[in-house]
Chain A
Amino acid sequence: MLTLVSGGSASGKSEFAESLVVSSGCTKRFYLATMIPFDEECHKRIARHRNMRAQKGFETIEVPTALEKIHFDGDQENRVALLECMSNLVANELYSPDGAGEQTLQKVIDGVEQLTKQCADVIVVTNEIFSDGIQYDPSTQEYLRVLGLVNQQIAARADCVVEVVAGIPIVWKGKA
């Protein structure tokens, strides 16, 4: 089962996504982290979050790029993966030197496909950043365009699509 969770910043989407993991019934919980740490503050924050999730039984895997190369050993049964956040992964693929560049859309969708093959439940968290009306520079406009397409393609194949507003899940597709 594939679920896409979106929402604005601080909308409660991470907490909602974690609740989906806990209620999934799968006991092997993986957290796929996409942020690239660029300074000491990032490292500290990441270490703190890792510890918090470890207490909830999550194993953290860093996937700042190349999600399509992910590999889990063994059977998909009983495995649930939470990927957070698609907006970071797409930015990393588009802009980092070892990213996929123009192949970003295809690589990221391949990556999600890989996850669904190897995990019984997959929850992808993305970000609603499309309604501020700002005409950004061409590079940022391109980022918005690609992230919009990634979201649409994941939503098209997802069993469930949820927008979280003020901590309240609005179901756009399927049943949360």
Chain B
Amino acid sequence: MRLIIGGAGQGKLNWYLSQNPSEQTIADGETISLDTIPHGTVLNHLHLWIFRLMQENKNPQELLADYLQTYPDAVIICDEIGCGVVPMTSQEREWREMTGRICCELAKQAVRVDRVFCGIAMTLKKEA
């Protein structure tokens, strides 16, 4: 599994697709059904998928583990959302916490982690 992180609007998915133009199956966390695991080798907008799952009282960590069992070579793309003022609502605070913790865990498991800034990638981790 690979993890790609970076701020909103930095071109994370485009950067990945420019490196891997044949990639076809992208599950968009903003719109996919929450009734099943995501179906796609790329899971984009992980942070929005987490947000939607939490709103429906579903457990993002369990579903993500199931997803990775089916797609062990998945590429997971997530916005960095932790660099603002502490949110006013507990719902947003819990979302921010959950997203950050999940990214830490994914980064541990990942064979490669990239961070995209202004369309440019910096590799933070790469296993030989």
Contacts and interface: CB of A to CB of B under 8 A. Distances in A.
The CB with the most chain A CB atoms within 10 A, among B9, B47, B92, B120, is that of B9
Interface stretch (A55-63, A114-122, A148-156): A148-156
Contacts of A6: 117-118
Given A132-B83, A133-B82, A134-B87, A148 B8 contact: yes
Where chain B touches its partner, the secondary structure class is loop
Nearest to B119: A152
Contacts of B87: 133-134
Given A155-B120, A172-B118, A148 B11 contact: yes
Where chain A touches its partner, the secondary structure class is mixed
Given A133-B79, A161-B118, A152 B10 contact: yes
Contacts, number: 70
B74 interface: no
Interface string B76-110: 00011111110100001001100100000000000
Nearest to A136: B8
B84 A134 contact: yes
Nearest to B8: A130
Contact of B120 (A133, A144, A148, A161): A161
B122 interface: yes
A145 B117 contact: no
A132 B85 contact: yes
A133 B11 contact: no
B10 A132 contact: no
B60 interface: no
B120 A172 contact: yes
Q: Would you list the 5 A-B pairs with minimal beta carbon distance, nearest first?
A: A148-B9, A133-B81, A132-B84, A130-B7, A155-B118
Interface of A: 4, 6, 8, 128, 130-134, 144-145, 147-149, 151-156, 161, 163, 172-173
Interface of B: 6-11, 47, 79-85, 87, 92, 95-96, 99, 117-120, 122
